[in-house]
């Protein structure tokens, strides 16, 4: 049983990070810590994509023709590169562990998205600190509760 | 078709890219414009152009069928494709038209709600959000969906937070939305990762073909499907993943609420339709299980619980927000029926509800604009102080309940018939009961407004103080549209039913 975990330790790392991040988001009451958890959660997804970007016996998808040409002849190359269902059966397959560039590119995009989310989140926390004077969720809830009852701020 | 020939050929040809690129570019430019008036004009022109284009694309779909636009000339599945079909075109037009309505209304509302130096950035964020939603609907590439989902979400967080000038709780609401929205988007992208692992492609049509060949795929595809459903469920406020919604709707600036309520959750619902029926297929047993037990289950429970919660709210905007969660239940019920009639009814309710809820939140914003009120207790005598606004609110409210000759009636009747056809009488009962609950929560507001007496301010009875024309026009346009659909004026009702039936036919036709 343990050998499965050790052979595919990359997935274990992904799962541990994913669960840690998600737990921190839900369990902590501090707004900054929640964002830390969210970042860890998102990072685990980056690792997941990088992991699946490794294709045993793949080949670089170099297209010789200019685009708009006959793509059909290139189909096996592209499928092999993407690690699709036919990858193993492709005649030109080598025994190298090849990195498919597509997941890496996807993750570049996802990293940018993650940075933007974190930036917005942190700036919201700054504004919350300015207005409420606290970044603890319980404190904010208490202030809002009092506001609902009395209709006044502070 | 005659109207179609009025559109220039290049516009229809490049339309799918145009509706994304234009607001995206102009959003960046709007951010640096010196005055808010110019930012407003730019936003209005951009949204109008997109609406015209979306209308042209809609007509084109109905006369010539599905069109696929290849970005940069790279053919799918390796290039990114934009797909305009009977499912995406009506939602695309709906989002663009609601953006125009919101922008017209935003002119007076922004002056009241947003401080001068933040007004140009507000319009910039609005256009970015708009571009993201349009992108989510037209794209045929699954990872592209994630990118556009985040483009629209991140700008939405900023838009919601701008309500802080009016009510500081907007900040906490925006923060909650950010946390849950990001988790939703991340779940979605995890699901896509599994789908990529299974199929080796990101193009939706290609993914669908490969999955069909694999007969639904292995456990990896099942896990991916689960992650995608939960991710989208968070975005579309599927009960019980709706907890971000009431706060975000109640404390965002009024026009942001209008736009969010009528488009953001609808775009996510559109994706749910797209993924469950075209990328995956109900013929796979795991998809059918999710439809039959999960979506119908949470849909029905959500309809009842959210309606009950709406009854006990003191803030009128929270009433409408909980009502939105309940209405999502109707759409999920229609989707879960998985029959042509059921899907068509769910899709029709998606379109109608956008119009109804847009109208209601527009009126709600006008009440705040004139009197600064959102609590039901403060609504006493509003029919005397703001008769036209209250009139529009009443029409949209009756439509939400599902009174005959309104849009809400048409979609609820279709949904009831679809459920009865399948022999699900308990579902019919739930639809009737939740409609009664809707009478109670909308009735509370109407009772206070029509039978309460106007409040005394310093001993003087409050005087008539109608909303400005730029607020009344969009509000009445939506209210009258709702009646026109319900009473089939100019054949509009038939058009809407036809649109939903074509969408359902498309969903069931592919791969089934």
Residue A87 placed within a domain: no
* Contact assignment for B78 to A78 by CB distance below 8 Å: yes
pLDDT above 70: residue B434? yes
- Using pLDDT thresholds of 50, 70 and 90, give the confidence band for residue B512: very low
Q: Which two tokens stand for residue B412?
A: 């609820």
Residue A61 placed within a domain: no
* Contact assignment for B183 to A22 by CB distance below 8 Å: yes
Q: What is the mean pLDDT of residues B409-422?
A: 89
Integer Cα distance of B396 and B477 in angstroms: 11
Q: How many domains is chain A partitioned into structurally?
A: 1
Cross-chain CB nearest to B154 (options A18, A117, A144) = A117
Q: Output the pLDDT for position A150.
A: 64
Q: Output the pLDDT for position B460.
A: 66
Chain A interface, best mutation among B80, B151, B154, B175, by max A CB count within 10 A: B175
Chain B interface, best mutation among A70, A113, A141, by max B CB count within 10 A: A113
Integer Cα distance of B501 and B369 in angstroms: 39
Length of chain A: 154
Cross-chain CB nearest to B147 (options A42, A71, A109) = A109
User: Is A37 within 8 Å of A31 (Cβ atoms)?
Assistant: no
B147 contacts in chain A (CB < 8 Å)? 109, 113
A147 contacts in chain B (CB < 8 Å)? 169
User: How far does B193 lie from chain A, in Å, by closest CA?
Assistant: 6
C-alpha closest to that of B275 among B68, B509, B507 = B507
pLDDT above 80: residue B214? yes
Those residues of chain A that have pLDDT short of 50 are 69, 84-91, 153-154
Q: Output the pLDDT for position A115.
A: 93
| pLDDT tens digit sequence for B369-395 | 888 777 887 888 777 788 888 889 999
Q: Output the pLDDT for position A154.
A: 44
| pLDDT tens digit sequence for B471-482 | 888 999 999 988
Lowest mean pLDDT among B9-18, B272-281, B306-315, B410-419: B9-18
Q: Count Cβ neighbours within 10 Å for each residue of B125-161 and write b for 16 or more, e otherwise.
A: bbbbbbbbbbbbbbbbbbbbbbbbbbbbbbbbbbbbb
Q: What is the mean pLDDT of residues B15-40?
A: 85
Say what the ipTM of the complex is: 0.85
Residue A121 placed within a domain: yes
Cross-chain CB nearest to A127 (options B164, B197, B201) = B164
For residue A14, the enclosing domain spans 2-53+100-150
Q: Which two tokens stand for residue B296?
A: 């119908």
Q: Does A50 touch chain B (CB under 8 A)?
A: no
B210 contacts in chain A (CB < 8 Å)? 84-85
* Contact assignment for A106 to B210 by CB distance below 8 Å: no
Q: Output the pLDDT for position A73.
A: 54
- Residue B203, SS3? strand
Q: Which residue of A has its CA nearest to B185?
A: A42
- Residue B233, SS3? helix
Residue A20 placed within a domain: yes
Q: Output the pLDDT for position A67.
A: 53
Please count the residue pairs, one from chain A and one from chain B, whose beta carbons lie less than 8 angstroms apart: 99
Owner of token pair 């006959």:
A70
CATH, residue A122:
1.10.287.3510
pLDDT above 90: residue B178? yes
Q: When comparing pLDDT for B163 and A149, which is higher?
A: B163
Q: What is the mean pLDDT of residues B97-119?
A: 85
- Cite the DSSP H helix spans in B236-315: 244-251, 254-259, 265-274, 285-289, 296-311
Using alpha carbons, list the distances in angstroms from residue A144 to A21, B167, B178, B244: 28, 11, 19, 16
Q: Output the pLDDT for position A64.
A: 58
Q: What is the mean pLDDT of residues B298-314?
A: 90
Q: What is the mean pLDDT of residues B139-144?
A: 89
Q: What is the mean pLDDT of residues B357-374?
A: 87
Q: Output the pLDDT for position A88.
A: 46
User: pLDDT averaged over chain B?
Assistant: 87
Q: Which two tokens stand for residue A128?
A: 């919350």
Q: Output the pLDDT for position B38.
A: 84
B143 contacts in chain A (CB < 8 Å)? 106, 109
Integer Cα distance of A83 and B462 in angstroms: 71
Residue A65 placed within a domain: no
Question: Distance of alpha carbon A149 from its chain centroid, rounded?
Answer: 41
- Residue B178, SS3? helix
Cross-chain CB nearest to A48 (options B171, B179, B193) = B193
Owner of token pair 């699946």:
A52
* Contact assignment for A109 to B193 by CB distance below 8 Å: no
DSSP B378: G
Q: When comparing pLDDT for B271 and A81, which is higher?
A: B271
B171 contacts in chain A (CB < 8 Å)? 124, 127-128, 131-132
- Residue A63, SS3? coil
Integer Cα distance of B20 and B139 in angstroms: 10
Integer Cα distance of B395 and A39 in angstroms: 46
Residue A115 placed within a domain: yes
Q: When comparing pLDDT for B37 and B273, which is higher?
A: B273
Q: Output the pLDDT for position A74.
A: 54
Q: What is the mean pLDDT of residues B82-89?
A: 89
Q: What is the mean pLDDT of residues B432-454?
A: 87
| pLDDT tens digit sequence for B50-76 | 999 999 888 888 888 888 888 877 777
Q: Count Cβ neighbours within 10 Å for each residue of B382-398 and write b for 16 or more, e otherwise.
A: bbbbbebbbbbbbbbbb
Query: How many CB atoms are located within 10 Å of the residue A141 CB?
Result: 12
User: How far does A121 lie from chain B, in Å, by closest CA?
Assistant: 7
User: How far does A21 lie from chain B, in Å, by closest CA?
Assistant: 10
Residue A94 Ramachandran class (φ > 0 left, ψ -120 to 50 alpha, else beta): beta
Q: Does A140 touch chain B (CB under 8 A)?
A: yes
Integer Cα distance of B258 and B94 in angstroms: 13
Query: How many CB atoms are located within 10 Å of the residue B44 CB?
Result: 17
Stated pTM of the model = 0.89
Residue A82 placed within a domain: no
Q: When comparing pLDDT for B495 and B50, which is higher?
A: B50
- Using pLDDT thresholds of 50, 70 and 90, give the confidence band for residue B148: very high
Residue A69 placed within a domain: no
């Amino acid at each position: 049983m343990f050998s499965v975990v050790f052979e595919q330790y990359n997935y274990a790392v992904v799962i541990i990070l994913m669960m840690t991040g998600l737990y921190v988001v839900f369990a902590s009451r501090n707004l900054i810590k929640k964002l830390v958890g969210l970042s860890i959660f998102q990072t685990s997804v980056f690792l997941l994509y990088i992991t699946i970007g490794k294709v045993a016996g793949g080949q670089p998808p170099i297209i010789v023709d200019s685009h708009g040409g006959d793509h059909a002849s290139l189909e096996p190359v592209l499928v092999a590169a993407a690690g699709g269902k036919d990858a193993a059966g492709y005649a030109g397959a080598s025994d190298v562990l090849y990195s498919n560039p597509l997941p890496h590119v996807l993750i570049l995009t996802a990293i940018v998205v993650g940075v933007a989310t974190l930036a917005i989140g942190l700036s919201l926390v700054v504004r919350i600190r300015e207005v409420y004077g606290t970044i603890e969720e319980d404190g904010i809830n208490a202030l809002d509760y009092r506001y609902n009852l009395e209709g006044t701020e502070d | 078709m005659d109207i179609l020939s009025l559109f220039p050929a290049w516009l229809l040809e490049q339309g799918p890219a145009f509706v994304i690129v234009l607001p995206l570019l102009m959003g960046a430019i709007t951010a640096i414009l010196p005055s808010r008036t110019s930012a407003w004009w730019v936003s209005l022109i951009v949204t109008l152009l997109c609406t015209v284009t979306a209308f042209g694309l809609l007509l084109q779909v109905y006369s010539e069928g599905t069109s696929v636009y290849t970005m940069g000339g790279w053919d799918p599945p390796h290039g990114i494709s934009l797909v305009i079909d009977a499912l995406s075109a009506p939602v695309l037009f709906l989002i663009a038209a609601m953006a125009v309505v919101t922008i017209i209304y935003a002119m007076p509302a922004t002056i009241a709600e947003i401080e001068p130096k933040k007004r140009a950035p507000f319009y910039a964020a609005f256009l970015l959000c708009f571009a993201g939603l349009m992108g989510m609907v037209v794209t045929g590439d699954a990872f592209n969906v994630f990118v556009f989902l985040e483009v629209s979400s991140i700008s939405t967080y900023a838009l919601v937070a701008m309500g802080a000038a009016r009510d500081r709780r907007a900040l906490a609401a925006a923060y909650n939305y950010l946390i849950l929205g990001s988790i939703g988007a991340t779940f979605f992208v995890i699901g896509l990762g599994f789908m990529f692992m299974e199929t080796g492609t990101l193009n939706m049509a290609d993914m669908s073909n490969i999955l069909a060949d694999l007969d639904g795929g292995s456990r990896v595809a099942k896990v991916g499907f689960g992650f995608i459903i939960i991710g989208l469920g968070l975005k579309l406020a599927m009960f019980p993943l709706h907890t971000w919604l009431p706060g975000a709707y109640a404390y965002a600036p009024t026009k942001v609420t209008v736009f969010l309520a009528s488009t953001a959750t609808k775009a996510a619902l559109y994706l749910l339709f797209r993924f469950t029926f075209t990328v995956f297929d109900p013929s796979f047993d795991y998809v059918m299980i999710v439809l039959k037990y999960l979506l119908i289950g949470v849909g029905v429970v959500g309809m009842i619980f959210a309606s009950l919660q709406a009854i006990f709210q003191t803030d009128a905007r929270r009433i409408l927000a909980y009502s939105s969660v309940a209405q999502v239940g109707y759409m999920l019920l229609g989707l879960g029926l998985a029959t042509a009639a059921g899907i068509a009814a769910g899709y029709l309710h998606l379109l109608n509800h956008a119009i109804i809820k847009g109208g209601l939140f527009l009126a709600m914003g006008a009440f705040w604009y004139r009197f600064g009120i959102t609590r039901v207790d403060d609504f006493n005598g509003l029919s005397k102080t703001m008769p036209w606004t209250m009139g529009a609110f009443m029409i949209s409210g009756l439509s939400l309940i599902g009174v005959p000759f309104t849009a809400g009636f048409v979609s609820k009747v279709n949904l009831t018939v679809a459920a009865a056809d399948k022999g699900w009488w308990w579902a019919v009962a739930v639809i009737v009961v939740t409609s009664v609950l809707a009478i109670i929560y909308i009735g509370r507001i109407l009772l206070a407004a029509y039978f309460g007496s106007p409040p005394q301010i310093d001993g003087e009875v409050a005087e008539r103080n109608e909303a400005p024309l730029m607020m009344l026009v969009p509000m009445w346009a939506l209210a009258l549209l709702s009646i026109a659909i319900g009473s089939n004026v100019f054949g509009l009702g038939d058009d809407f039913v036809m649109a939903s039936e074509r969408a359902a036919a498309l969903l069931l036709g592919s791969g089934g």
